[in-house]
Structure 1
């Protein structure tokens, strides 16, 4: 993480699991971000108590109400972040919010597919659109700098379950709506990388591993990777990303995941 210097970062789904772990690790950096925007749907809810505790201890943490399935909520969040940043841009957007519905293929429904796809794929699309002006401003604030997560970047939290050529974990969970949404997210990441390259914004998809979170444990199995291990690994990966990596799909150890 020595090469990662992030003046500002926004993490969605920041009230628990990987999102909360990311916030904690950003705060624990030798040179923490000036602004850590921690976004979640219910900032005052029971599941956000630890996040609120962090915000009370760290003046650079701003808890943002955000529902990534609601365009109005996204627009309001972008405006709030912009106000805090003043004339500066947003360095790093991590689209971490996600959901899974444990349906087998024969039980999949229109409602479930739509809910999961809206959260896992359309949400990151809308977030990228809404926060692009702030990301561009961050990139423009570092003229001459190479593309990196320390300049301006969008990181989409994907899954190896979205790999078409290597459908990991099929025997444990079918979850076709989740798999399809992550496969689509990988393509969205590629599209963002091609379009936003001209703006100096690096875009990549990350597989965090099978992590010990509520979502990771939802099928009744204990995942092998802790939140701490996953986040440490991903931040190391982020510190190494450069222009050659934009549009790629990597795991928490920096290995390329087949699409």
Structure 2
């Protein structure tokens, strides 16, 4: 399945960090997608996105707040219009936030805020864009299930693993950890819900990466996680098939415990 040709991809949370690195990698591929949609809350203030669009005609910026259903629906209309009757092959739910609280410090408001972005957001985006994903699968009925047919990728974290509760920050990032556990279950549920439509759903752990969220002490650089040089997440995307539907993988393609 190496070197898949993906005609269209949508990346949420694309204004910085992993999302922005994914965009750069897609548009600079030897065989780039015809349409790369950069979805973020405030695109008008992101100069790097504006610079990218001036260099790559296939990059389209879409305003989207994943916690606002009306905003997601507006983004869907914009993407649908650009695709002109074609489907969306790959949707990457990457938008996320974190709060560094312990179990005793967190509040209901903090928990709900993180959960709304990290778990409910991906659910709403996938529900809204499902018709375009189904359309893409229908356009390639003989192709095996893959990222070039129709796929939903969730950026998750090993910190949400129930089997690895002592792995880093055992009593911190409570809101974030719980939201990613919920996202992992959402992945399993969507994998079952959409497989008859030819769509796969996979949860990805990008590793501890040097981003605004991950911090400067993180061991991985962005290009090592995403894989602009031919490895990382992008390489694993090329290998995904029906057998990976509903799985939890890391940036090297290794299976992680739930």
Q: Distance in 2 between the 1:145 and 1:9 partners?
A: 17
Q: Partner residue of 1:136?
A: 134
After superposition, the CA RMSD in angstroms is 1.0
2:224 equivalent to 1:225: no
Which SS does the other structure have where 1:106 is aligned?
A: coil
In the TM superposition, residue 28 of structure 1 has moved relative to its aligned partner by: 1.2
Q: Partner residue of 2:24?
A: 24
Q: Distance in 1 between the 2:4 and 2:234 partners?
A: 8
Q: Partner residue of 1:3?
A: 3
Question: Residues 196-211 of structure 1: matches in 2 within 5 Å?
Answer: 196-211=194-209
In the TM superposition, residue 2 of structure 1 has moved relative to its aligned partner by: 3.7
* 200-209 or 162-171, which deviates more: 162-171
Q: Distance in 2 between the 1:193 and 1:250 partners?
A: 14
Q: Distance in 2 between the 1:29 and 1:152 partners?
A: 19
Which SS does the other structure have where 2:5 is aligned?
A: coil
In the TM superposition, residue 170 of structure 1 has moved relative to its aligned partner by: 2.1
Q: Partner residue of 1:38?
A: 38
Q: Distance in 1 between the 2:44 and 2:101 partners?
A: 30
**Does the 8 Å CA contact 2:40/2:65 hold for their aligned counterparts?**
yes
In the TM superposition, residue 5 of structure 1 has moved relative to its aligned partner by: 1.2
Q: Distance in 2 between the 1:71 and 1:117 partners?
A: 15
In the TM superposition, residue 152 of structure 1 has moved relative to its aligned partner by: 0.3
* 159-168 or 88-97, which deviates more: 159-168
Moved over 3 A (4+): none
Alpha-carbon displacement from aligned partner over 1:126-158 (angstroms, at most 9, x marks no partner): 011000000000000001111001100000000
Question: Residues 118-129 of structure 1: matches in 2 within 5 Å?
Answer: 118-129=116-127
Q: Partner residue of 1:242?
A: 241
Q: Distance in 2 between the 1:154 and 1:120 partners?
A: 15
**Does the 8 Å CA contact 2:2/2:239 hold for their aligned counterparts?**
no
In the TM superposition, residue 57 of structure 1 has moved relative to its aligned partner by: 1.1
Question: Residues 160-175 of structure 1: matches in 2 within 5 Å?
Answer: 160-167=158-165, 168-170=167-169, 174-175=172-173
Q: Distance in 2 between the 1:4 and 1:116 partners?
A: 34
In the TM superposition, residue 56 of structure 1 has moved relative to its aligned partner by: 1.1
Q: Partner residue of 1:112?
A: 110
Q: Distance in 2 between the 1:26 and 1:4 partners?
A: 12
Q: Distance in 1 between the 2:69 and 2:104 partners?
A: 32
Q: Which runs of 5 or more structure 1 residues have no equivalent in the other structure?
A: none
Q: Partner residue of 1:156?
A: 154
Which SS does the other structure have where 1:250 is aligned?
A: strand
